[in-house]
């Protein structure tokens, strides 16, 4: 589902934020992405979303070399990816329904089809019945569930999360992780950037570790054989 081939990224005037990164994520795989602050986690996620471009190397998503996409294809690429942020990035003056429906409106779904999908997404995170609330009326854990519902409402093949449990206590964090596992169980590829080592160890999934832009663990041995 995801393949990085010798990917490096250097921001203007900086050191390499990523350096020679090789890895593959299979379809339906679940992995964590860890590393110190500034290790390159957000940069790696951004390259997959085409929010930025590598300085060297190739990024493939769903078999497609992202460098080969024409500008008109970029929105279709982004629709394959759901993204969850630490701070939810919800609109606090809109209802839960409107927040989750946003990606569907952008994608041009009919109101009836959008409503059906929004309910399905809210059901998948246990928030059916809260459509008319505004985020301010919800707990932190519920707000993060709204963020996840919005990320999955387009039925993405790939789900990325950047510190999705950063503001939550351990119990709520475990509940949010259970949701990600359930999406993996229905075939979604999941990659979660997090500092929460306790949670990672408790869950025992594959762990990619970045250190100063280099993937120091969790990459694929096959890649090293080919390119090493």
CB of 11 to ligand ADP, least distance (A): 3
Shorter beta-carbon distance to ligand ADP: residue 124 or 173: 173
Q: Give the nearest distance from C-beta 148 to ligand ADP in angstroms.
A: 18
Minimum separation from the CB atom of position 93 to ligand ADP (A): 24
Choose the stretch contacting ligand ADP; rule: CB under 6 A; options: 11-19, 63-71, 131-139, 148-156: 11-19
The least CB distance from residue 200 to ligand ADP, in Å, is 15
Least Cα distance to 54 among 16, 1, 14 occurs for 16
Whether the CB-CB separation of 179 and 125 falls below 8 Å is answered with yes
- The closest of 103, 118, 126 to 178, measured between CA atoms, is 126
Contacting residues for 189 by C-beta, under 8 A, at least 6 apart = 1, 2, 25, 26, 27, 28, 29, 30, 157, 158, 159
Nearer to ligand ADP, 124 or 194 (CB): 194
Q: Does 197 bind ligand ADP (CB under 6 A)?
A: no
- Nearest approach in angstroms of CB 162 to ligand ADP is 6
Is residue 11 near ligand ADP by the rule CB under 6 A?
yes
Report the first-to-last Cα separation within the chain, whole angstroms: 22
45 φ/ψ angles, rounded to the nearest 5 degrees: -65, -40
The whole-angstrom separation of Cα 163 and Cα 203 is: 16
- DSSP letter assigned to residue 39: S
CA-CA-CA-CA torsion for 26, 219, 158, 38, nearest 10 degrees?
Answer: 180
Q: Which is nearer to ligand ADP, 40 or 135 (CB)?
A: 40
Residues 155-194 that bind ligand ADP (CB under 6 A): 162
Per-residue interface string for the shown chain with ligand ADP, residues 16-55, x marking contact by CB under 6 A:
-x-----------------x-xxxxxxx------------
| Footprint of ligand ADP (CB under 6 A) | 11, 14, 17, 35, 37-43, 162
């Amino acid at each position: 589902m995801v393949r990085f081939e010798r990917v490096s990224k250097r921001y203007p005037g900086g050191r390499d934020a990523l350096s020679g990164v090789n890895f593959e994520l299979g379809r339906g795989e679940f992995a964590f992405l860890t590393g110190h602050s500034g290790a390159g986690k957000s940069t790696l996620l951004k390259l997959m979303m085409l929010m930025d471009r590598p300085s060297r190397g190739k990024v493939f998503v769903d078999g497609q070399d992202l460098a080969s996409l024409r500008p008109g294809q970029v929105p279709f690429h982004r629709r394959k990816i759901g993204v969850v942020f630490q701070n939810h990035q919800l609109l606090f003056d809109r209802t839960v329904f409107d927040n989750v429906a946003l990606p569907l409106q952008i994608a041009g779904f009919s109101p009836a089809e959008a409503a059906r999908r929004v309910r399905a997404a809210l059901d998948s995170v246990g928030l059916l019945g809260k459509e008319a609330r505004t985020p301010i009326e919800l707990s932190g854990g519920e707000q993060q569930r709204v963020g996840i519902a919005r990320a999955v409402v387009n039925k993405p093949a790939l789900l990325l999360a950047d510190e999705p449990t950063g503001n939550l206590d351990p119990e709520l964090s475990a509940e949010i992780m259970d949701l990600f596992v359930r999406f993996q169980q229905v075939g979604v590829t999941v990659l979660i950037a997090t500092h929460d080592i306790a949670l990672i160890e408790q869950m025992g999934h594959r762990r990619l570790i970045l250190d100063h832009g280099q993937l120091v663990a969790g990459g694929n041995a096959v890649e090293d054989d080919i390119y090493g």
